[in-house]
Structure formats: C-alpha cells, structure tokens
Amino acid sequence: MSEVREPGFDRIVALVLRVGAFSCFFVMLAGLIVGWFVSGRIPLGIERAGVLLMLATPVVRVIVACFLFFREKDMKYGWISLGVLVILMLGSVFGIGEH
C-alpha cells in the first residue's frame, strides 16, 4: 500500500459496507414480501427505508474512515475524508428542486 497501515482499518471499513449491504438487502426483501400480501403504504415505507439505508451506507463509510484517520493522527487524509463528506452533504441540499 502507499503507506504502512494497520489491517484493522480495512476490516472496519469492510464491516461497515457489509453490514450496510446485507441490512439493506433484508429490509428491501421484507418490503417485497410484505408487499406480496398487502398493498399500499406499509410495504412502500419498508422499501423506502431500505433504499435510504443503501444511500446512507457510503456516507457512513466516509464518516467512519474520517474518524479513523483523525484517530490515527493522519490529518491530511482526515481532512480529505471530511471534504468528501461535505460534497455528499451538499448534494442533498442542492438536490431539492422544483423539477
């Protein structure tokens, strides 16, 4: 790797992604199964929760990496991660449109 790093870093970030992907999968699946029996707002709400969880997973991944970099006193990459986070947040502000 470009710099020496503890393997635990990879493992924590991998865990975030794995937990995110699997929990979204099961939440969405639950929404589909519920939707098979009842129609309307309940299954749609569960599916929406799954989609939002999926959108949040990369954001959480950036937050966790940012925290880990600052804890390792790796300031440069801590700030870079924070910058990525700011861009992601700006997207949710500018996404509001009258389209």
Partner 1 sequence: MVTALLVILGFFAGLLGALTGIGGGVLLTPILALHFDITIRQAIGTSLVAVITTSAASSSVHLQRHTTDIRLGMTLELATAFGAAVTAYLVGYFNRNVLEGLFAGFLLYSAITILTKGGKVKPLEDESAFIVDEAVIPPYEPKRYPLGLAASLVAGALSGLLGIGGGPIKVPVMYIFMNVPLMVATATSNFMIGVTAAASAIVYYRRGDILVEYAAPLAVGVFVGSLLGARLAPRIHTKVVVYLLVGVMFYLAGHLILHLLRGWL
Residue 48 contacts residue 32 (beta carbons within 8 Å): no
Q: Do 43 and 34 form a contact (C-beta atoms < 8 A)?
A: yes
Torsion of CA 13, 14, 18, 21, to 10 degrees: 60
Residue 71 or 99 having the CB closest to partner 1: 99
Among residues 41, 71, 73, 99, the one that binds partner 1 under rule CB under 8 A: 99
How far CA 19 is from CA of 11, 31, 53, 61, 81, in Å, comes to: 12, 18, 10, 11, 21
Site string for partner 1, 14-53 (x = CB under 8 A): xx-xx-xx--xx--xx-xx--x--------x--xx-xx--
Instruction: Name the residues that contact partner 1, by CB under 8 A.
Output: 1-3, 5, 7, 9-11, 13-15, 17-18, 20-21, 24-25, 28-29, 31-32, 35, 44, 47-48, 50-51, 54-55, 57-59, 61-62, 65, 77, 80-81, 83-84, 87-88, 90-92, 94-97, 99
